[in-house]
């Protein structure tokens, strides 16, 4: 596996592969790799001839009071996991390589970034879409893999790629969870044992909502109320949001109809956790 830090190096590495017509798969990450990231890498490995993983903690997607400086950066362990999973190239640029000091260009996706995490993390999605646009231009993959864990991000990237006519297939991959239901996340490392236990309230609330929907409940306010109660009852926390929205347009739904995204973001101690489920009400028995 090659570890490459500059744009010119990764371009030189990929050029012969592209000329030979090999399918290039790309997994963008911020490192601190876990089984969630690795599921994306393994899918890429199974479907592509060349697999590139980027490891870049992108400063522009963190707010001024967020955890950019504290974000875990276990680069050697990450590279070992990439090697184990058969990655061909790990692209690990320093910040200066990705952002010139006089950089003046931002890529933004409107509407889809207004709600959910966008409403609570101003500027976050502009940072994400700008860095992913740059990475797509650098790597020029045939296919890129994103986790359903970050559901809004996947919707936003898909729309950006379609709107900008990039010839890149976007593959969404299911959320990988611990055996007790907690969605894997690099930020789980911040949780104390008690907070780790409390954090199960996110997946428990989502499961409860899915069960209610399967049992016939369609009223969104009752579902949101019940989810919030379950989260609050688990212990002290601050709920950023609990919402049920259209899974593709991310617009609020008064009733559960069609494909819905049930999404939540909760702060437990200093850690902000997100989780979601997609339900297709039309495919349920009632």
- Interacting residues toward ligand AMP by CB under 6 A: 29-30, 36-37, 39-40, 146-147, 149-150, 173, 175-176, 183-186
CA distance between the termini of the chain: 51
Question: Could you tell me the CA-to-CA distances from 96 to 5, 58, 103 in Å, in that order?
Answer: 11, 11, 10
Which C-beta is closer to ligand AMP: that of 155 or that of 223? 155
Beta partners for 25?
Answer: 51, 143
Number of residues that make up the chain: 286
User: Least distance (Å) from ligand AMP to the CB of residue 137?
Assistant: 18
Q: Can you say whether residue 39 is alpha, beta or left, with left for phi > 0 and alpha for psi between -120 and 50 degrees?
A: alpha
CB–CB of 130/60 below 8 Å?
A: yes
Comparing CA positions, the residue from 7, 1, 16, 48 lying closest to residue 139 is 7
The angle subtended at Cα 191 by Cα 180 and Cα 36, nearest 5°, is 55
Active-site positions read 37
User: Least distance (Å) from ligand AMP to the CB of residue 282?
Assistant: 25
Which C-beta is closer to ligand AMP: that of 4 or that of 274? 274
| Residue whose Cβ sits closest to ligand AMP | 147
Comparing CA positions, the residue from 214, 212, 192 lying closest to residue 271 is 192
Distance from C-alpha of 35 to C-alpha of 239, rounded to nearest angstrom: 26
Which C-beta is closer to ligand AMP: that of 178 or that of 217? 178
Q: Which residues contact 51 (CB under 8 A, 6 or more apart)?
A: 24, 25, 26, 27, 41, 44, 45, 86, 87, 88, 89
User: Least distance (Å) from ligand AMP to the CB of residue 186?
Assistant: 6
User: Least distance (Å) from ligand AMP to the CB of residue 216?
Assistant: 30
User: Least distance (Å) from ligand AMP to the CB of residue 131?
Assistant: 10
């Amino acid at each position: 596996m090659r570890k490459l830090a500059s744009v010119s190096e990764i371009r030189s590495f990929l050029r012969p592969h592209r000329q030979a017509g090999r399918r290039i798969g790309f997994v963008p990450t911020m490192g601190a790799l876990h089984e969630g990231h690795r599921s994306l890498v393994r899918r890429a490995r199974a479907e592509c001839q060349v697999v590139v993983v980027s490891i870049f903690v992108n400063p522009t997607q963190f707010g001024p009071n967020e955890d950019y400086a504290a974000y875990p950066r276990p680069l050697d362990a990450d590279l070992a996991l990439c090697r184990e999973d058969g990655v061909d190239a790990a692209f690990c640029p320093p910040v200066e390589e990705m952002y010139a000091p006089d950089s003046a260009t931002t890529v933004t996706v409107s509407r889809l970034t207004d709600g959910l995490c966008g409403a609570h993390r101003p500027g976050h999605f502009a940072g994400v879409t700008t860095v992913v646009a740059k990475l797509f231009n650098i790597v020029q993959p045939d296919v890129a893999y994103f986790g359903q864990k970050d559901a809004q991000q996947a919707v936003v990237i898909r729309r950006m790629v379609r709107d900008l006519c990039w010839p890149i297939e976007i593959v969404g991959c299911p959320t990988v969870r611990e055996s007790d239901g907690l969605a894997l996340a690099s930020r789980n490392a911040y949780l104390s044992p008690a907070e780790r236990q409390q954090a199960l309230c996110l997946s428990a609330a989502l499961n409860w909502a899915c069960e209610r929907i399967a049992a016939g409940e369609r009223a969104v306010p009752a579902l949101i109320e019940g989810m919030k109660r379950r989260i609050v009852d688990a212990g002290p926390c601050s709920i950023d949001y609990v919402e049920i929205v259209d899974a593709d347009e991310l617009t609020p739904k008064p009733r559960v109809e069609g494909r819905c995204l049930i999404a939540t973001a909760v702060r437990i101690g200093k850690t902000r956790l997100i989780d979601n489920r997609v339900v297709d009400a039309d495919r349920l028995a009632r």
